[in-house]
Amino acid sequence: MAIVLSLASVKGGVGKTTIAENLAIALGRMGRRVLLIDADIATSALSALLGLTERNPNLHDLLAGRGDPNRAIYDAYGIQVLPSGGTLGGFVRADPVRLARVIDVYKNNYDFLIIDTPPGITKYSLAPLKISDSILSVTTQDPSAIEAAVKLEEACAAMQLKLTGVVVNRVRKPSFFKKLKLYSRAQIQSRLRTPILLGIPEDPMVMEAATMRRPMLFYKPKSAVSKAIWELARKIGG
């Protein structure tokens, strides 16, 4: 049975999509059978990064009760992907309540289902979290992101969802973040009950890789960001 793992945050723009994409690819490279699922069905950012928003059927269709789940899987960078559609109409017709049943279809065929989730505490963000064996909270050092991570902890505790670790993304150099009054790892940990698994450094190449539609792991394989992704993959699937 697959382990279902979600990347989650209440605040947007912290790196969920970037980490989901690269973590899934790293686990695939480690020989794990991985299905990467774009459950951020409003923005479909992950599917767009992978050039898969025009495929039918997709998660919009499946959540509308249409299409064969076994035909909604597409290859990208050595892993398999269940993309979201890219249209507003598709989003409006999609019912997140159907997600649990859709995902069940895949569980026997993979070691990991890695789910990229939308921000917020809504029926859209909670649907994937409710079916996850493990939720990774993604934050940055910004006070607003850390307060959002506290909210995610509260929501997961209230609903008995399995928050297992925190990834601090876009970590700046100490000299820089002190000047900006950003929080250190120890300060972030003191605000959270969930253990911090690792930090991923800030690197403008991450945005460049996205612009080039290349996963960071392939675009800058020797970068500290890629090394951190490998370390995360080893912690999860090694």
Cα 19 vs. chain centroid, distance in angstroms? Answer: 6
Does residue 169 bind ligand ADP (CB under 6 A)? yes
Q: Residue 207 Cβ, how far from ligand ADP at the closest point, in Å?
A: 4
Stretch that binds ligand ADP, among 81-89, 105-113, 188-196, 197-205 (CB under 6 A): 197-205
Return the one option of ligand ADP, Mg ion, none that residue 15 interacts with (CB less than 5 to 8 A, by type): ligand ADP
User: Site residues for Mg ion, window 27-46 (CB under 5 A)?
Assistant: 45
Instruction: Give the number of other Cβ atoms within 10 Å of residue 12's Cβ.
Output: 15
Does residue 39 bind ligand ADP (CB under 6 A)? no
Return the one option of ligand ADP, Mg ion, none that residue 34 interacts with (CB less than 5 to 8 A, by type): none
Does residue 17 bind Mg ion (CB under 5 A)? yes
Residues contacting residue 92 through CB under 8 Å, at least 6 positions apart? none
Does residue 17 bind ligand ADP (CB under 6 A)? yes
State how far the Cα of 203 lies from the Cα of 209, in Å rounded to an integer. 10
Q: What are phi and psi of 44, to 5 degrees?
A: 55, 35
Which C-beta is closer to Mg ion: that of 16 or that of 60? 16
Q: Residue 71 Cβ, how far from ligand ADP at the closest point, in Å?
A: 27
Q: Which member of 81, 135, 200, 217 binds ligand ADP (CB under 6 A)?
A: 200
At residue 123, the 3 state secondary structure works out as helix
The per-residue b/e assignment along 146-163, b for 16 or more CB within 10 angstroms, e otherwise, is bebbbebbebbeeeebeb
- Interaction mask 41-80, ligand ADP, x per CB under 6 A: ----x-----------------------------------
Return the one option of ligand ADP, Mg ion, none that residue 210 interacts with (CB less than 5 to 8 A, by type): ligand ADP
Provide the strand spans (E) within the chain: 3-8, 34-38, 74-76, 79-82, 112-116, 134-139, 163-171, 196-201
State how far the Cα of 97 lies from the Cα of 203, in Å rounded to an integer. 37
Say if CB 168 and CB 202 are below 8 A apart.
Answer: no
Per the document, the length of the chain is 238
Return the one option of ligand ADP, Mg ion, none that residue 202 interacts with (CB less than 5 to 8 A, by type): ligand ADP
Residue numbers at the binding site for ligand ADP (CB under 6 A): 9, 12-18, 45, 169-170, 200, 202-203, 206-207, 210, 225
